[in-house]
Chains A and B, each alone.
Chain A
């Protein structure tokens, strides 16, 4: 990964961190957090974590498959704006991972770690059913 790619991705993720912080804050304040079935939520968490491990080990298609399954699973949860927005970012990441050449994939790994962390925060603060 070049220094430029790394710095560029870091800047983008800082912007995303501000974005999700403000969204989660508003959702928490207005009790608009997603409500997740606990076992289902743990399965989704495991899928994203496994996807991140796959990226880390360089298993591109494994990560694509795991995160695609995560998206399908997310679609099965009760609709919430926060998870829908996160899902769009994960979908963009899956498409990017499938199409970009190997040279860009290292920078994309930061993206995956970040959105895995965002999911962990959402899952942590979400209402449990």
Chain B
């Protein structure tokens, strides 16, 4: 036990990130199920309105800050040193400190439940709702302090990943040769360095308002609630890409291996990630179209929001082109990767719709937004995480995940997810407001909501099946061997699970597929360039 508590080895720290994220995922999932049960029929009163407010606040905060960010960081911390041929992270103690800061932040957030006043102002806690006169309990204080800790941990892990990628690559591995997952982790880490401080500044000002009687966000005393929105979304929109870009990187590793082709347009994939990162800092106000910002302001942010779809679309086409003509093997990892393409595209297209100002005006704060964000973050990030889990579990544990259970897991998640969230597009178009604990018995509202709740239950069952698969495979799974997928990147050159030092000998890297070069000395990649 103490070996895990004091761990600084990147593999153990990475596993700790993933395990803590899984536990918070289950907690956030339970909060979602409470909400879906409450919404299963019109005018239900299973939970009080105050409890419902706490549920959607904790669900959003948990899924963004305690699941999506930590689990992606966990994959990065575990895999990046292996992929670049390093024995360790560059700053291992900082890596461990960052994890514990994030975990303590999460624990502090959940202590607010015990204090009897969990935060209840939504995951973006708009002012003045988050100010003392409207949220008088200690819940928002817990929320802000917890997020400050998580922010510190996230910045620490981002610094560590940047330094590791910049200074610890194997001999010969230039940035033009690193795997795309490493590229996306590097870009994401740089984004964290520039985006998370905006959240930290907002939180410090919110705490000043609440605890020290400052007046940053209180219009009655000369402050401005809009300042919160600007600062929060300067962080918040890059945040969407912070939790999506590493998922893109995972897909860019998985699709080529199971299509038996190299990735189509590697330079395009890397530069499109840079373009997404750059553009993501210029689109924050599309979350504020309902605020009277002025026509020119709206036009600029509508255009920039549409523009960001271009590099994202390039990636989709590159993945399709990679599969085109390939010898595709539909393992569970590949099934999730293909489903990711479809689900994320749906979320991306509804995002482009939202970039159109009148559409946003009509749809803002309806269930259309809920559907959109879940197609991006679940259909995108979580589907990629499932793909990544099935792909890298053999490396992490030394055992294969059961493919039969994996297929059940896949179909339950796909059916449950689409049943739960696709119908929410229609609910939004019909005018159902989000963040309201119940709704009147209007035409279609009851039927669509019950479909959504049944879908959520199926989705929950699919996720529990995944947890069961992980537990069973840890004990009874088939031995994986070092390279069960016949893959090409360096992590598969290490033993499964990798020893403390990762590699007995680090090969000189001369192409983007160093393991292919080792396996095929008669036709290495670098001779084709």
A, B: real partners = yes
Q: Interface residues, chain A, CB within 8 Å of chain B? A: 3-4, 7-8, 11-12, 14-16, 18-19, 22-23, 26, 29-30, 32, 79, 81, 85
- Structural contact, B193 and A26, CB atoms closer than 8 A: no
Given contacts A11-B162, A11-B163, contact A81 B200 (CB under 8 A): no
- Structural contact, A22 and B201, CB atoms closer than 8 A: yes
- Structural contact, A30 and B201, CB atoms closer than 8 A: no
- Structural contact, A14 and B194, CB atoms closer than 8 A: yes
- Structural contact, A11 and B158, CB atoms closer than 8 A: yes
Instruction: Point out the residues of chain B lying under 8 angstroms from A8, CB to CB.
Output: 90-91, 94, 159-160, 162-163
Q: What is the CA–CA distance of A18 and B204 in the complex, to the nearest angstrom?
A: 14
- Structural contact, B158 and A4, CB atoms closer than 8 A: no
- Structural contact, A12 and B159, CB atoms closer than 8 A: yes
Q: Which chain B residues in 225-284 approach chain A with CB under 8 Å?
A: 227, 231, 234
Q: Shortest CB–CB separation between residue A87 and chain B, in angstroms? A: 13
Chain B, residues 184-217, CB within 8 Å of chain A (1/0): the string is 0000000001101110110011001000101110
9 contacts between A and B (CB under 8 A): A7-B163, A15-B155, A15-B193, A19-B200, A22-B201, A26-B231, A30-B223, A32-B215, A32-B216
The answer to whether the Cβ of B471 comes within 8 Å of any Cβ in the partner chain is: no
Q: What is the CA–CA distance of A22 and B230 in the complex, to the nearest angstrom?
A: 11
Partner of A26, one of B94, B159, B201: B201
Q: Which chain B residues in 57-98 approach chain A with CB under 8 Å?
A: 90-91, 94
Q: Shortest CB–CB separation between residue A126 and chain B, in angstroms? A: 16
**A-B CB pair tally, cutoff 8 Å:** 70
- Structural contact, B200 and A4, CB atoms closer than 8 A: no
- Structural contact, A4 and B163, CB atoms closer than 8 A: yes
Q: Shortest CB–CB separation between residue A79 and chain B, in angstroms? A: 8
Instruction: Point out the residues of chain B lying under 8 angstroms from A19, CB to CB.
Output: 197-198, 200-201
Q: Shortest CB–CB separation between residue B105 and chain A, in angstroms? A: 17
Instruction: Point out the residues of chain A lying under 8 angstroms from B216, CB to CB.
Output: 26, 30, 32
Q: Which of chain B's residues has its CB closest to A79's CB?
A: B212
Instruction: Point out the residues of chain A lying under 8 angstroms from B196, CB to CB.
Output: 15
- Structural contact, B91 and A4, CB atoms closer than 8 A: yes
The answer to whether the Cβ of B521 comes within 8 Å of any Cβ in the partner chain is: no
Q: Shortest CB–CB separation between residue A81 and chain B, in angstroms? A: 5
Q: Which of chain B's residues has its CB closest to A18's CB?
A: B197
The answer to whether the Cβ of B167 comes within 8 Å of any Cβ in the partner chain is: yes
Instruction: Point out the residues of chain A lying under 8 angstroms from B198, CB to CB.
Output: 18-19, 22
The answer to whether the Cβ of B175 comes within 8 Å of any Cβ in the partner chain is: no
- Structural contact, B163 and A81, CB atoms closer than 8 A: no
Q: Which of chain B's residues has its CB closest to A16's CB?
A: B197
Q: Which chain B residues in 143-160 approach chain A with CB under 8 Å?
A: 155, 158-160
- Structural contact, A7 and B194, CB atoms closer than 8 A: no
Q: Shortest CB–CB separation between residue B394 and chain A, in angstroms? A: 31
Q: Which of chain B's residues has its CB closest to A85's CB?
A: B204
Return the 6 tightest CB-CB contacts between A and B, nearest first.
A19-B197, A18-B197, A22-B201, A11-B159, A81-B208, A4-B90
- Structural contact, B167 and A7, CB atoms closer than 8 A: yes
Besides A11-B163, A81-B214, 6 new A-B residue pairs in contact (Cβ under 8 A), listed by A number: A3-B167, A4-B163, A8-B159, A15-B193, A22-B234, A32-B214
- Structural contact, A22 and B197, CB atoms closer than 8 A: yes
- Structural contact, A26 and B208, CB atoms closer than 8 A: no
Partner of B222, one of A4, A26, A30, A85: A30
Given contacts A26-B227, A30-B222, contact A15 B91 (CB under 8 A): no
Q: Shortest CB–CB separation between residue B127 and chain A, in angstroms? A: 12
The answer to whether the Cβ of B23 comes within 8 Å of any Cβ in the partner chain is: no
The answer to whether the Cβ of B303 comes within 8 Å of any Cβ in the partner chain is: no
Instruction: Point out the residues of chain B lying under 8 angstroms from A11, CB to CB.
Output: 158-159, 162-163, 193
The answer to whether the Cβ of B166 comes within 8 Å of any Cβ in the partner chain is: yes
- Structural contact, B201 and A23, CB atoms closer than 8 A: yes
Q: Which of chain A's residues has its CB closest to B89's CB?
A: A4
Q: Which of chain B's residues has its CB closest to A5's CB?
A: B91
Q: What is the CA–CA distance of A93 and B177 in the complex, to the nearest angstrom?
A: 39
Q: Shortest CB–CB separation between residue B94 and chain A, in angstroms? A: 7
Q: What is the CA–CA distance of A18 and B231 in the complex, to the nearest angstrom?
A: 11
Instruction: Point out the residues of chain B lying under 8 angstroms from A32, CB to CB.
Output: 214-216
- Structural contact, A30 and B215, CB atoms closer than 8 A: yes
Could you say which of A3, A11, A79 has the most chain B C-beta atoms within 10 Å of its C-beta? A11
Given contacts A4-B90, A4-B163, contact A22 B208 (CB under 8 A): no
Q: What is the CA–CA distance of A18 and B196 in the complex, to the nearest angstrom?
A: 9
Instruction: Point out the residues of chain A lying under 8 angstroms from B90, CB to CB.
Output: 4, 8
- Structural contact, B166 and A7, CB atoms closer than 8 A: yes
- Structural contact, A18 and B194, CB atoms closer than 8 A: yes
Could you say which of B160, B197, B198 has the most chain A C-beta atoms within 10 Å of its C-beta? B197
Instruction: Point out the residues of chain A lying under 8 angstroms from B204, CB to CB.
Output: 23, 81, 85
Q: What is the CA–CA distance of A18 and B158 in the complex, to the nearest angstrom?
A: 15
Chain B, residues 432-463, CB within 8 Å of chain A (1/0): the string is 00000000000000000000000000000000
Chain B, residues 381-423, CB within 8 Å of chain A (1/0): the string is 0000000000000000000000000000000000000000000
